[in-house]
Amino acid sequence: MNDLYQGFTSSALGKQVASMLGLPQPARLERYTEGAPLVDGTVAVGGRGRLADSLVGVLGTLGIAAVASTDADATYKGLVFDATGLTSSDQLVELRDFFTPLLRSLDRCPRVVVLGTPPEQVAGGERVAQRALEGFTRSLGKEIGRGGTVQLMYVAEGSEGSVASTLAFLLSPKSAYVSGQVVRIGAHGAAKPGKVADWTRPLEGKVALVTGASRGIGEQIARVLHRDGATVVGVDVAQAASELQAVMRELEGDHLVLDITAKDAPQRVAHHLKTNHGGVDVVVHNAGITRDKRLMNMAEDRWDSVIAVNLTAPERITRELLDQGVVNQGGSIIGVASIAGIAGNVGQTNYAASKAGVIGLVDSLADELTDGITINAVAPGFIITQMTAAVPFATREVGQRLNAMAQGGLPVDVAEAIAWFASPGSTAVNGNVVRVCGQMMLGA
């Protein structure tokens, strides 16, 4: 779907009008295409700390050109700064010393990543300095412009060898609509990363379950997981059966038609996965509905149906798969929350409650899971779909512009984040909720 406003501000006249009126001028975001390099350019590495000496080598294993010395005349596609060595607030000036000379040397759609130590792992002045990194990265994300993104990776002691998968995602166009995020590596215990023989197909030989897979975001999730090598088992309701079957046929996958809120749905899903695939490696709870009304006007069925589909069904299915041992060792469970579950939204008390509950599911299970199984969630912001296309024009325009990138995201942006969580290389990424919202101005 074309963004008419972005098209206008990209024209010669539109640029002039937008500049005169101080209007946002959204950049055209670079997104990953199959077969392209992860990073089309050079990444400059700086800082001092636990990861500094290994970063160039780690990026090299991903096929990313990286340098530890910078040249003011060079152009960089990305910057990575190791701030794990900052132990007091006066040392925060090292962030300015590294970034200020280089920000004007960045290519379009650049990627910036700061590495830190989880503040809860340290004390005193070091804790102060490490917590300060969040304000720095979130503010820089709103300054950087030109389609750029800025992220903070808190890497726990002992998890230094588990950063490759996350760096691959955050430095590549796969994270086009993810910015201002804090990702914790090893926050729920050090986990040895799974073997990734081919970074272009990290899910080779894996089985992925995707609910609500017939259209929209769910369809894109299925397509991206298939691109990364997974055999996809799509699930949807009977009304969407023909669309589901067509998508799965194209992806050479499998399908299961059922209502995930049915009493026997968890058992049917578990039986299908065990019988036909010997288990599952990736579980994506994507199916969701909205039934919007202000709470004073909300009928019981509107409340109950949203909670049942968006939250209770993922809870029940997850529990059944875990209890029966259907989720394979090193598997990943991924929920689709929403920015509404973080910031709230008028007329969506039911939806926001359900999506905040998905975040609660991540919190409740992150420390309980064994066998290297992880649980994480994405929280999409304004994603352009058939559903949002039906939103009144003025409301839609405002919704798309209320983020640092001044535009809506695409379903593939959510799918790419889910594929990162699903990668065997992401086994230390556990208990995270990452917003895919272009750094929305609302919410944490």
Question: Catalytic amino acids?
Answer: 351
Q: Which two tokens stand for residue 43?
A: 């990444």
Cα–Cα nearest to 255, from 267, 328, 279, 238: 238
Say how far apart CA 41 and CA 2 lie, in whole Å. 28
The answer to whether 131 touches 119, Cβ cutoff 8 Å, is: yes
Q: Which two tokens stand for residue 263?
A: 């009493």
The answer to whether 96 touches 86, Cβ cutoff 8 Å, is: no
DSSP 390-420: TS-HHHHHHHHHSBTTSS-B-HHHHHHHHHH
Nearby residues of 404 by Cβ (< 8 Å), 6 or more positions away: 141, 142, 179, 180, 438, 439, 441
Distance of alpha carbon 355 from its chain centroid, rounded?
Answer: 15
The DSSP bridge partners found for residue 65 are: 42
Kindly list the strands in the beta sheet with 76-82, ordered across the sheet, starting from the edge strand earlier in the chain: 65-67, 42-47, 76-82, 106-116, 149-155, 181-185
Cα–Cα nearest to 98, from 106, 107, 88: 106
Q: Which two tokens stand for residue 226?
A: 């298939």
